[in-house]
Structures are given as C-alpha cells and as structure tokens.
C-alpha cells in the first residue's frame, strides 16, 4: 500500500483519489474549499458522476480515503503527491497555471522527505519544469521529482475510464520516478507508455484532446456541406466510421463540443504554439467551427418561427454532455442567453444540471420534466443527448406543444419519423 496525497477534489482529483484507494492505497485529498471537504467527509459528492458516491463511501468506510483542507495532514510521509487542480483558460487562451504553482508551493512547504510529485492536471509542456523549480526553491532539504501523468477521464464514465484505461502515460526527466508512478497502476494491467522526458507526456494530453476536438469540428463542417447538397450527415458519419482507419468515435454531428477539457485545451495548445512563433491554423479553424456550430440552433429556430420575440422555447438538456451536471462551456448557456436577448421566453429541463444552471441563468424557467417543458411551447431544442430524451412519447409531446417545432441539436431522432408525426423538424446536416 502506498501513501498518496491528491491535491484537488474536483472531477479528476476525486475520481483519481477514490480509484487509487479502491486499488488498496492510503489516499488523502486536500482541497482549500472548506464546504467541499465538509461534504466529502459526509460522503457526499459535490457533483454528479455515476458511481462515484458509492466508491467514496466504500473507501472512506474502509479507512483508505480521507479528506482535509490541511496540507500538513496529507503531504508529510507521502510517497506521491498528485496535483489535480484546475487549469482554466487565461485571457489570451493560455492555460492559467496559478493553481498548479500554488499547489506545488504548498507541497514543498510541507514535504518532510523524498517525494514524487505527479502532474495530473492538464498542463502545457514545460509546466513540469516550473513545478520542479518551485519545489527546489521552496524546499532545498528534500528531493522532489516531478512526473507528468496526464488523465484521460471522460465525465459520465470517469470511473470506468480509470479502471479500464486505453493506456497509462508517464514521463519524467527521471526514468526511475516515471517507473515508480507506473507501478501505481500495475493492478489495472493496462498498456503503459513511459516517455523519455516530461515534455512528451505533457504533449500527449494536449494532442489527444485537440485531435478529438478536430474530429468533432470536421464532421460538423461535413454536416453543413451535407445539408446544402441534400445528404444525411449522420449516415455520412456512419459510413466514414465503418472504415477501420477512421472509426466511429467523436463523429457525432451536432451543435458542437463543450466541457472542461476540449475547449480550453485546444485554446491552450494554440496559445502555446503562438508563444513559439508557430501559427496553428488548424486549431483556430477547429475553434471557429465549434463556436459557430452552437448558433445553428438559433438560425433554425428563426427559420421555423420567423421571430423569437415572445416565443416560448424549451431547451431539453443543459449539461454539456449526458451523465454529468457540468456546465463548463455548455452550448445551452450561449443558446439560452441569445434567446433571452431576442425576447424569447426560455424554459429548460435537465435530469442533473438544473440546480447549477439556476445560478447562471436565473431568467430561465425550470420545468419538472420533458412533458412539462413541452406544454404550450412554440419550439423545443434538443441540447443534450440524455438517453431518456430518446424514449419520449413524441405523439404526446406534439399534442402538448403550441407549435410542433423540434430543433434536434444532437440528431437523436429520425427525421422521417418526426415529420410523419407532424413535427416541423430540423436536425444538423439532415435536411
């Protein structure tokens, strides 16, 4: 059993801590948010992630998982200190590393022996060197080695992704430290890539997320062309995905990507490239397409309703993806703000994200369920592809609506079926 300190109790930090504890390690989570730590001590998870509450409860009860606001309770005696704090987008698109630097400073101030410091936060190349400088400057008495170990967790399936990873990536200027971090994951029996330096491991994360974002923006551009020539973009994507060289993942046409990773990581990689005097034309195109894509819902509503003034518009889904309550860079926020500014009455329903959204969008009316949302609505926009929305009684929905207009921002319905039921239906790339 290893003693591990995890700095940060967010999606990545808490999932990592709970899973490492489940593998038999003694893990203490440090977070400066007193309310969050109080919740976790009560075995309450402050965000929605399937299965995580049960994992936290089991390992807390077993004495393997602890929570604190004090570095003194976590870092002394630890073999590993894992940094899993936020790296939000800065003013110019660059990654804001202030939380990483603060975590490294506090680790250095409390370490009492040799320590492997693991960067699991999504950080650009050269960040490991910055962390190493902070550690050496703040604590010259004890050796600390920095290892990059990027995470590849998807919200909504984070526990499965941790326990059944496609690969484990570790990199360090110290090969022995990298191998030691890889040993933490030995019970998972996953492929391990140990890179010869820390920069390569850091770049793997950014390159992976940028490529996934590129696939989404590419298929959405294909959708726009398909719509104009009468092709069905969803079937085009299916045909492409059957090619083993391409595969089907991240080829879902719709109103674009959101979340805590893809938007900021593409922007940060572009900012990094420009810092080194390289113009990342493709990355800028990916961001431009994604920004424009979410406004398609507005265009299609105007086309169907002529005006948005005083129209009652229902948003089905608020979170950026299903099985999470995360609203970071969620298309719903932009769509709702544009609709409200245009004079529409906006109502919404989401199985998990409404409490979080109330704070951000207080002028939206929040409904009890999808049918409550449909009653008297002039149009409904499918924003998040929650599975329960695929199985609604659409005949009932039509009867409840004032105007039977559906803008399917995630292409979850069949156009011919919807038109057969009497809806004015608009998908993405499926006219």
Residues 229-247 have pLDDT tens digits of 999 999 999 999 999 999 9
Cα 191 → chain centroid: 23
The pair of structure tokens assigned to 358 is: 């109330």
Which of 216-244 are b and which e, b meaning 16 or more Cβ less than 10 Å from the residue's Cβ? bbbbbbbbbebbeeebbbbebbeebbeee
Indicate the helix (H) or strand (E) that contains 118: strand 115-119
Indicate the helix (H) or strand (E) that contains 380: strand 379-382
Rounded Cα gap, residues 70 and 201, in angstroms: 30
Indicate the helix (H) or strand (E) that contains 101: helix 98-110
* pLDDT over 90 (residue 78): yes
- Per-residue pLDDT band for 91 (boundaries 50, 70, 90) equals confident
For 314: left if phi > 0, alpha if psi spans -120 to 50, otherwise beta; the answer is beta
Q: Average pLDDT in the 370-395 region?
A: 98
Cβ contacts of 256 within 8 Å, gap of 6 or more = 216, 217, 220, 289, 290, 291, 293, 294, 331
Nearest to 169 by CA among 204, 137, 126, 196: 204
CA triple 268-270-273, angle to 5 deg: 110
Rounded Cα gap, residues 297 and 122, in angstroms: 31
Give pLDDT tens digits for 100-141.
999 999 999 999 999 999 999 999 999 999 999 999 999 888
* pLDDT over 80 (residue 431): no
193: β partners = 169
CB atoms within 10 A of CB 199: 18
Kindly state the DSSP code that residue 89 receives in the 8-state scheme: B
Share of the chain above pLDDT 90, in %: 96
Give pLDDT tens digits for 185-231.
999 999 999 999 999 999 999 999 999 999 999 999 999 999 999 99
Task: Identify whether 304 is a catalytic site residue.
Answer: no
User: What is the pairing mode between strands 379-382 and 3-7?
Assistant: unpaired
The pair of structure tokens assigned to 396 is: 């009932």
For 10: left if phi > 0, alpha if psi spans -120 to 50, otherwise beta; the answer is beta
**pLDDT for res 92:** 85
Provide the mean pLDDT of the chain. 96
* pLDDT over 80 (residue 64): yes
424: β partners = 405
Give pLDDT tens digits for 257-287.
999 889 999 999 999 999 999 999 999 999 9
In order of start, what are the domains of the chain with their CATH numbers? 3-196 (3.40.50.720), 206-291 (1.10.1040.10), 294-426 (3.40.50.720)
Tokens 């370490």 sit on residue:
111
**pLDDT for res 192:** 97
At 75, phi and psi to the nearest 5? -85, -45
Q: Average pLDDT in the 59-75 region?
A: 97
* pLDDT over 90 (residue 50): yes
CB atoms within 10 A of CB 310: 10
Give pLDDT tens digits for 327-342.
999 999 999 999 999 9
* pLDDT over 80 (residue 389): yes
CA distances from 192 to 115, 117, 182, 200, 332 (A): 22, 19, 7, 14, 38
Beta strands in 127-213 (DSSP E): 144-148, 168-171, 192-195
Share of the chain above pLDDT 70, in %: 100
- Per-residue pLDDT band for 1 (boundaries 50, 70, 90) equals confident
Question: What torsion, rounded to 10 degrees, do the Cα atoms 76, 81, 86, 91 define?
Answer: 90
Nearest to 339 by CA among 309, 369, 303: 309
The pair of structure tokens assigned to 237 is: 């994507």
- Per-residue pLDDT band for 396 (boundaries 50, 70, 90) equals very high
What is the reported pTM?
Answer: 0.91
Q: Identify the active-site residue in 56, 78, 216, 261.
A: 261
Helices (H), 230-321: 233-241, 262-275, 281-293, 296-305
């Amino acid at each position: 059993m290893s003693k591990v300190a995890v700095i940060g109790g967010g999606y990545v930090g808490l999932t990592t801590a709970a899973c490492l504890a489940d593998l038999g390690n003694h893990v203490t989570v440090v977070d400066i948010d007193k309310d969050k730590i109080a919740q976790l001590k009560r075995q309450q998870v402050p965000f929605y992630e399937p299965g995580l509450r049960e994992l936290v409860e089991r390992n807390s009860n077993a004495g393997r998982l602890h929570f604190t606001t004090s570095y003194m309770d976590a870092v002394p005696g630890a073999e590993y200190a894992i940094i899993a704090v936020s790296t939000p987008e800065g003013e110019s698109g660059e990654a804001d590393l202030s939380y990483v630097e603060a975590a490294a400073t506090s680790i250095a101030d409390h370490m009492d022996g040799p320590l492997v410091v693991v960067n699991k936060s999504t950080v650009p190349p050269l960040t490991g060197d910055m962390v190493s400088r902070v550690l050496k400057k703040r604590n010259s008495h004890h050796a600390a080695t920095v290892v990059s170990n990027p995470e590849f967790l998807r919200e909504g399936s984070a526990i499965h992704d941790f326990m059944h990873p496609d690969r484990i990536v570790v990199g360090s200027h110290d090969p022995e430290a990298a191998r030691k971090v890889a040993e933490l994951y030995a019970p998972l029996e996953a492929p391990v890539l140990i890179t010869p330096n820390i920069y390569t491991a850091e770049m793997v994360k950014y390159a992976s997320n940028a490529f996934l974002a590129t696939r989404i923006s590419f298929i959405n551009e294909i959708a726009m062309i398909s719509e104009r020539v009468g092709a069905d973009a969803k079937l085009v994507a299916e045909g492409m995905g059957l090619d083993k060289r391409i595969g089907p993942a991240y080829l879902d046409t719709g109103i674009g990507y959101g979340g805590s990773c893809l938007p900021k990581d593409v922007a940060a990689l572009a900012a990094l490239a420009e810092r080194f005097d390289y113009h990342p034309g493709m990355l800028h195109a990916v961001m431009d397409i994604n920004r424009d894509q979410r406004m398609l819902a507005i265009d299609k509503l105007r086309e169907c309703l002529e005006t948005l003034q005083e129209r009652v518009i229902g948003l089905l889904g608020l979170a950026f993806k299903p099985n999470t309550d995360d609203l970071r860079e969620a298309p719903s926020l932009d769509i709702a703000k544009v609709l409200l500014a245009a004079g529409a009455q906006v109502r919404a329903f989401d199985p998990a994200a409404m409490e979080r959204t109330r704070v951000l969008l207080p002028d939206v009316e929040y409904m009890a369920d999808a049918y409550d949302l449909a009653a008297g609505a002039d149009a409904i926009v499918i924003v998040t592809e929650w599975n329960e929305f695929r199985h609604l009684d659409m005949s009932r929905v039509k009867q409840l609506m004032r105007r039977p207009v559906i803008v399917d921002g995630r292409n979850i319905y069949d156009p011919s079926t919807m038109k057969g039921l009497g809806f004015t239906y608009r998908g993405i790339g499926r006219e």
